[in-house]
Structure 1
Amino acid sequence: MSDTGAAIAVEGLRKRYGDVQAVDGVTFEVGRGEFYGILGPNGAGKTTTLELVEGLREPDEGSARLLGHPSWPRDPRLLRRIGVQLQASAFFDKLTAREQIRTFAALYGVPAGRADAMLATVGLADKAGVRDDKLSGGQAQRLSIACALVHDPELVFLDEPTTGLDPQARRNLWDLLREINAAGRTVVLTTHYLDEAELLCDRVAIMDAGRVLRVGAPAELIGELGVATLEDVFLRLTGREYRG
């Protein structure tokens, strides 16, 4: 696989934990500026795949290249060019939203003014003086995404950012994710919500049992298989009903 012009090029990734083959020969490519989804039910291998691609874990086999550079071993040149929002947000204890994002900004040498502007971008300017443990679930997710974006990365990884949010908070976050992508950033999203992937993503990789089953634009996959929704696509590919 050639990674010419690609933001991400993944080839044959594998990762095993004991008897569990968490990732089993995953291969895909993401174009620059693309909104790309990795979707599947809980336990499909989405998060482990993302951690391998980001360089947070060493693969047993295979490789991943980000913006033309290998992601493992970890490359300091990539750190300023990628932003990562983990599935479980990890904030510093007893800091306000403004203090949180300014601390993240300082790690990259980003001025406080840029950090404050990013809080406004994600709709948290009025919550700047609120501690993270007093924020709602949706507000905490927005703060987590703001921290991932504060250094203006080219490539952004979002791991199930809307899990546990109420419907209105999910829709509000979708608007933010569209804006992030429209600003020219490449976005990789893992989700177990098929409606979310169908609405947001240019292309999706459907995963189950550590493998990529099919890659394509949601509408193309639906058309190819002659079904009505991505949920129907999953049923056709796996022979079982989807359970997010």
Structure 2
Amino acid sequence: VNKKFKNTVALDNVSFEVSEGEIFGFLGPSGAGKTTTINILTSQLDADSGEVEILGKNSQNLTYNDFVKIGIMSDNVGFYDRLTLYDNLKFFAKFHNVSIDYLDNLLKRLDLYDDRFKRANQLSTGMKQRMLLIRAILHTPKIVFLDEPTSGMDPTLSKKVHDILLELKNKGISIFLTTHNMDEATKLCDNVALLYKGKIVEAGSPQLIIDKYSQNDKVKIVFFDGSEKIVPKEEASKYLGINTKTINSLENNLENIFIQLTGDKLND
């Protein structure tokens, strides 16, 4: 898939597959092309060239019955400002014939139940994120597109979101997750694609990518005087002694690998 906005290349020959029941991470900084990709995949935007197939169909041929099998959480998918959080979500629950008990359960799990009567335009960023997440997954779709779902959330809330996403995966639901949080992607995703300036610079399972760029044959020795030394793993035993503070393997992480491949940092 390729996409330009005037003279700016948004997506450059982007290609990937997502399997049923898979959490697929589309990772990169703001402006990399993540949201553009979601908009193309969900028929909100046309690609300049290339083909997109979703639920076994070309994305341009999706019908109403196909769209009700899709859940979308993004800044482009709005909500009703003047309605309460609860009324926003009850509207969608009734539309999809979902029980209010199930809605209440999700609200309680994501710490929104006590605030359910707040108007949507009075919610904090993190509360809006959780409201939009519930709306995206409320009808148990076949595939869910989540754009930075834990943005603005503290670690405790993020963990609750992660638990819900893993439960959806175990039900066979496919999850397309965009994030610049590489730790989140490593924990959650079966496969990832690292996106930079519209190009995929690396793809595969998080652990395979980490292994590919890690120096598994070497270790780092840290001494009590603050000095460090990198040596072959088989020589590590020579440094066991009172002057050695730690001996650690040189396993990499996705964030360092991204910087290594692009020379650029991710957003905080």
- How many Å apart are 1:112 and its aligned residue? 4.6
2:132 to 144, 168, 171: 144
Q: Give identity over the alignment, percent.
A: 35
- How many Å apart are 1:149 and its aligned residue? 1.6
Quote the residue 2:254 is aligned against.
230
Quote the residue 1:22 is aligned against.
10
Quote the residue 2:241 is aligned against.
none
Report the secondary structure of 1:26's partner residue. coil
Quote the residue 2:42 is aligned against.
54
Alignment of 1:1-244 (within 5 A): 13-87=1-75, 90-110=78-98, 112=100, 114-120=102-108, 122-226=110-214, 228-238=252-262, 240-244=263-267
Q: Is the 8 A contact 1:87 1:160 kept in 2?
A: no
Q: Take 1:89 and 1:67, find their aligned partners in 2: how far apart are those partners?
A: 21
1:224 partner letter:
K
Report the secondary structure of 2:140's partner residue. coil
- How many Å apart are 1:120 and its aligned residue? 4.1
Moved more, 61-70 or 160-169: 160-169
Q: Take 2:42 and 2:77, find their aligned partners in 1: how far apart are those partners?
A: 16
Q: Take 1:125 and 1:165, find their aligned partners in 2: how far apart are those partners?
A: 16
Report the secondary structure of 1:205's partner residue. strand
Gapped regions of structure 1 (runs ≥ 5): 1-12
Report the secondary structure of 1:62's partner residue. coil
Q: Take 1:74 and 1:68, find their aligned partners in 2: how far apart are those partners?
A: 10
Q: Is the 8 A contact 1:55 1:73 kept in 2?
A: no
Q: Is the 8 A contact 2:213 2:252 kept in 1?
A: no
Q: Take 2:84 and 2:157, find their aligned partners in 1: how far apart are those partners?
A: 21
Q: Is the 8 A contact 2:109 2:160 kept in 1?
A: no
- How many Å apart are 1:231 and its aligned residue? 1.4
- How many Å apart are 1:218 and its aligned residue? 0.8
1:179 partner letter:
E
Report the secondary structure of 2:18's partner residue. strand
- How many Å apart are 1:180 and its aligned residue? 2.9
Summarize deviations over 1:104-157 as a string: whole Å, max 9, x none.
234435455554454345443333322223333332211111111222201100
> Aligned pair in 2 of structure 1 residues 27, 129: CA closer, same or farther (>3 Å)?
same
- How many Å apart are 1:66 and its aligned residue? 1.1
Summarize deviations over 1:167-222 as a string: whole Å, max 9, x none.
44333333333333233311110011111111111110111111111211111101
What do you get for the CA RMSD once the two structures are aligned? 2.1
Q: Take 1:131 and 1:215, find their aligned partners in 2: how far apart are those partners?
A: 41
Q: Take 2:55 and 2:8, find their aligned partners in 1: how far apart are those partners?
A: 30
- Which has the greater radius of gyration? 2
Q: Is the 8 A contact 2:129 2:151 kept in 1?
A: no
1:243 partner letter:
L
| TM-score (norm: length of structure 1) | 0.85
Q: Take 1:166 and 1:54, find their aligned partners in 2: how far apart are those partners?
A: 29
Q: Take 1:17 and 1:125, find their aligned partners in 2: how far apart are those partners?
A: 41
Q: Is the 8 A contact 2:110 2:157 kept in 1?
A: no
| TM-score (norm: length of structure 2) | 0.78
